[in-house]
Structure formats: C-alpha cells, structure tokens
Chains A and B, each alone.
Chain A
Amino acid sequence: MNTVLILLPLVLTILFSLATVPILVWMERRIAALIQDRLGPNRCHINGIRLGGIIQSVADMMKLVFKEEFLPSHIKNKFYYLVAPSLAFMSAFLTFMVIPYADNITINEKTYYMQALPTDLGVLWFLAFAGLGVYGIILGGWASHNKYAMLGSMRATAQVIGYEVAMGLSLVSMLITYGTISLNEMVTYQSQSFFIIPAWGIVIQPIATIIFIITAFAETNRAPFDAAEGESEIVAGYHTEYGAMKFGLYFVAEYIAMAASGALIVTIFLGGYQLPYLNTNDLINNFELVLWLIIAFAAVTSIIFFKWMKKHNIFEMPGLDEKKVYATLIIGFTAFAIVVMSYYALGFSEGSSVGVMILQFAIFTVKLFFLHFVFIWVRWTLPRFRYDQTQKLGWNILLPLSLVNIFITAIVVVGVNYGS
C-alpha cells in the first residue's frame, strides 16, 4: 500500500502526459473535422476495431518511430541538433510534476501526497520549467542552420519572453488572492463558496484567468500564437530540418506542454479536483450517497452511449463486428463497476477515502479533457495572429492589464483583511 500510494502520482503523471498524446492527436483531428463539417480519420483499423479513429494516431506514432533517422549533411553542431528536441520534451514533462491529482490522503496516520513531486513550490516550479522549454526551440532552430528554422526559433523566443512576464504577473494576483504558492492549498481554498457561488479562481479573478489562458496558449506555441511554425510564411519554423522521432519528440513535447498548462489552469482557476460545494470531507462523510449517484450516472450514460453508437457507427469493416465488441465491453464493464460500487455503497466494506481519491482523479481528468477541448476548439476557430500583433498584445495590452489587476487585487485583499 505504501509503495503503491507513492508511485501512483508518478504513474498518473506519465498517463496524463505521455499516454494521452495519441488521444490528443485523435481529438485534434476529429474536433477539427467536426468544426469543418467533415468526418476526419476513422478508417484505420486492427482487425475491424477502429476505436473511433484512435488507431490512426497509433499508426502515425508507429510511423514516426520506425522512420529512418536522417541527419542532414549541412548540420555542423550535431550535439546541439540532437539534444534540442529532448530538452523541449524534458522541460514539458517536468512541468507536470507538481500538479495535485487528488487531495492528500491519510491512511493509517500517514499522509500521502497525490503530486508526483510533493513540494510546496507549486506555481514557481511550473514557471521555472515552462521557461526552460524555450531552449529546445532556440537550440533546434539555431543548430538546424536554416533561415526558416532560425526565424521560427527567434519568433518563439521573443514571444515566450514577452508572454512569460504577463503570465507571471497574472499568477502573482492569484497568489495574493489565495495567500499560498502550494497548488494543493489553492485547490483546498477553492472548495469554499461565497454565498452560492463556488470560490473558483475563474469566478473571483476573471481577468487573471483570461490573461493566464491567453499566455498559456502563447507559451505552448499553440494557435493562434503559433507564428513560430507558421507554415505559410516560414515553411515549418524551428522543426523544418527535423525528421522521424526527433520531430516526434517536438510533436509530443507540444502536446505535453499543452496538457501541463491545461492541468495548471484546471488547478488554479477551475477548482482542481474539487466539485463545487463539496469538499473532500463532505465527500468522505457522504460516500454511500455519492456512490449511488455515480451508479445511476454510469447506468444512464452507458445506455445513452449505446444508443448513440448504434445510430452513428454505420461503416462496414472487414474482421470483427466492432459494435458487438464495444457493446459487450460496455455492458460488462458497467455491470462490473456497478457491482463493485454497490458492494461499498451497501456498507459491506470501508473504502471511503480511497474511493474519494479515485473520484477526484476522475473529476480532474474530466476537467483536463474539457480544457484540451477548449485548446483544440480555439486552434480551429481563430486564425493565426500576425507576428507584430502578437507582440503588441503581449506588451501593450496584457502586461498593463495584469499590473492593474495586481493593484486592484492587493487593495481588495488588504481591505478585506483590515476589517477583520
């Protein structure tokens, strides 16, 4: 139990970052298709099983892994050229380490942290390693020895330097509000509610939320701030000269960075692993009731999903009958989950704190995937900003706005504390 609980957040970090990349690629393509009113990739299959198109991103990853490792002959600095993608990948991965996936859990009078790195540095750790991520891009662009790559990496650097200031300042106003830099304490703060409104960051600090989300887009080089790889102007930017898995690392690093910023937005502004009005103690005390609600929810959603699949899954594929396989799996899994949950819900066994932990993982995952959806939604809705517009937005609008926001926040916080 001891080792499992210590290793669990590490495993979750890998799951949320590396293992979600094929799903994110799939989401990106299918949501793009949805927005542009087409189907997207859905024909690639393993013996008839298509998983709605996820097999396509698995196939793409396989292609990247087995492609020939090609080194362009004009590259002089081979070391920098090869180390750059792994720098980008490493720093994106490290930013994930401080995200709390569930509340601290106490079993047998020993407290376990549900963060991969149980440190109080929280937000500062994220800022530190998000800032290091730009070295991968700078070095890659410089070592590629190519005009387009160089332009792309210079754009990326200027953009990251500009937006990091606004990002840090918007975080400062959140730090003043919460009075802590530990991410777990921030989430605990957000479980309170003022009158009937939950005290989520997005409610008490809407301006900081908007600034942070915009800067997070810019920091991860996602559209509409992806001038660094503007393919219509500078071919593909910093990764023009990269192929096979060296490109794959950049590709994965971008998605991991996106996932990490999404996780941080969830943690700071969207209440983290908490449900509104219910803090961890409430969930533990009313665990039986919560379980009955989940059982009802699981039954209803699986029926709805079942009907939806029957209506829309109409392609005839060779091999196994996909619909039958999914139907068996869904019915089997739901039945199994309901049996297990009713065993606990009827009070045969005590497992409320572990159960609440799993529930909080689930809440966090749902919120995180909603954020992924928003990231992709924005990418396929807004056109790319011109480069000077990006700089103007960063320095002339976001920076003063976040300074004003800090000023107002400080006045309000001091005023509230002065009275009491």
Chain B
Amino acid sequence: MENEIIFTILALVAIVSSIVMISAHRPIDSALSFIVTLVSIAALFALVNATFLFVVQIIIYAGAILSLILFIIMFLNIKDANLPDEKHKNKWLMGTSLIVAPFSYILIDLIMRSDIAVNGIAAENFGTIKDVGLTLFSKWILPFELVSILLLVALVGSVTLSKKED
C-alpha cells in the first residue's frame, strides 16, 4: 500500500517534470526539470530494489551529464531575444496530444495484458551491484564491449574535432 502511494507520487512527479521539460520556453528550465525527472526515475528504481541502477542513474545522469549540459547552457548565455517565438505552442501541444492519445491507449492496454505488469516488485537480488555485474560480464559480455568501443570512438572523435580548430 505504502509502496503504491510512493510509486504514484514519484510517477506523477516524473511525468509532470518531463512535460515541463519539453514545453518550457527557456533551455535552463528544461534542463532543470529534466534533472527532476531523472531523480524521480532513480527513486523508482530504488523502489523496485534496483539499488545499483538507482545510484548509477544519480551519478551518471543527474550528477555528471546534466551538470555538463547546464554548464554549456550557461556558457552560451542565451538571451530572451535569441529564443524562438512560440505563439501557438499550447495549440500544438493540445493537438498533438489528441493525435497521440489513441496510440498511448493501445500501448497501456498492451502493457497491462503482458506479464510485465503482473510481476510487481522484483526478487531480492534483482539489480544489486553483484547481480548486475555478473549478468553484464557473463551473459552480455559482447554487447557490453561493443558499447564501450562505441563510446571510445565518440570520445576520440570529439577530441579530434576540437583539436582541428586551433
């Protein structure tokens, strides 16, 4: 019962802040409400006992990536005059949500019918650091290494691009 109340509150916070994120006028508002979304999703992970995912979500997304994004937003020093004029934003939002509504109804219906919804709270050792590590390095070792190479390529690429300028 308590879990359901906490889940509802966190889910509402996540949804509202993600709506604010896509509809906010200024980039800094978007970035900050994105942090709220990420932290509440991290809390949802903690609620289903995935402690490692919870802490990694906060370290990587909320702690590192978003502070980098905020840093860049501050660095660009965007003025109100630079922002696009969004006159019919509310109409667009209403219209698109009306169009999307039937599809999301189908999606919700699908999820409720599948066995994901029935499972509820996961097993005791689901998502702990040991479990995640063992699964990653035994079952998914090839995709894991491929992803790390992909990240390395992006890293080297960004360094080369920034070196070219001077």
| Residues of A in contact with B (beta carbons under 8 Å apart) | 80, 119-121, 124-125, 127-129, 131-132, 134-135, 138-139, 141-142, 150, 153-154, 157-158, 160-161, 164, 181
Chain B residue nearest to A139 in the complex (CB)? B32
Pair A128/B63 contact, Cβ less than 8 Å: yes
Chain A residue nearest to B55 in the complex (CB)? A124
| Residues of B in contact with A (beta carbons under 8 Å apart) | 28, 32, 35, 51-52, 55-56, 58-59, 62-64, 67-68, 70-71, 74-75, 128-129
Q: In the complex, what distance in Å separates the CA atom of A161 from the CA atom of B63?
A: 9
Q: In the complex, what distance in Å separates the CA atom of A127 from the CA atom of B63?
A: 9
Pair B70/A121 contact, Cβ less than 8 Å: no
Q: Give chain B nearest CB distance to A322 CB in angstroms.
A: 48
Pair A121/B75 contact, Cβ less than 8 Å: no
Q: Which of B59, B64, B129 is A181 in contact with, Cβ under 8 Å?
A: B129
Q: Which of A119, A120, A138, A181 is B70 in contact with, Cβ under 8 Å?
A: A138
Q: Give chain A nearest CB distance to B68 CB in angstroms.
A: 6
Are A161 and B68 CB-contacts (below 8 A) given A135-B35, A138-B74, A153-B74? yes
Contacts of B55 in A (CB 8 A): 121, 124-125, 127-128
Q: In the complex, what distance in Å separates the CA atom of A161 from the CA atom of B70?
A: 12
Pair B59/A150 contact, Cβ less than 8 Å: no
Interchain residue pairs A-B with the least CB separation, the first 7: A131-B63, A128-B58, A124-B55, A157-B71, A128-B59, A121-B55, A128-B55
Q: Give chain B nearest CB distance to A195 CB in angstroms.
A: 32
Q: Give chain B nearest CB distance to A388 CB in angstroms.
A: 15
Q: Which of B63, B64, B71 is A158 in contact with, Cβ under 8 Å?
A: B71
Contacts of B75 in A (CB 8 A): 154
A sample of 11 more A-B contacts (CB under 8 A), given A120-B128, A131-B63, A131-B67, is A121-B55, A124-B52, A125-B55, A134-B63, A135-B35, A138-B74, A139-B32, A154-B74, A154-B75, A157-B71, A161-B71
Q: Give chain A nearest CB distance to B66 CB in angstroms.
A: 8
Pair B63/A121 contact, Cβ less than 8 Å: no
Contacts of A120 in B (CB 8 A): 51, 128-129
Q: In the complex, what distance in Å separates the CA atom of A188 from the CA atom of B63?
A: 30
Pair B70/A157 contact, Cβ less than 8 Å: yes
Q: In the complex, what distance in Å separates the CA atom of A142 from the CA atom of B74?
A: 7
Q: In the complex, what distance in Å separates the CA atom of A120 from the CA atom of B55?
A: 11
Contacts of A127 in B (CB 8 A): 55, 59, 63
Q: Which of A119, A124, A139 is B59 in contact with, Cβ under 8 Å?
A: A124
Pair B74/A164 contact, Cβ less than 8 Å: no
Q: In the complex, what distance in Å separates the CA atom of A135 from the CA atom of B28?
A: 12
Chain A residue nearest to B66 in the complex (CB)? A135
Chain A residue nearest to B59 in the complex (CB)? A128
Are A132 and B70 CB-contacts (below 8 A) given A119-B51, A121-B55, A125-B55? no
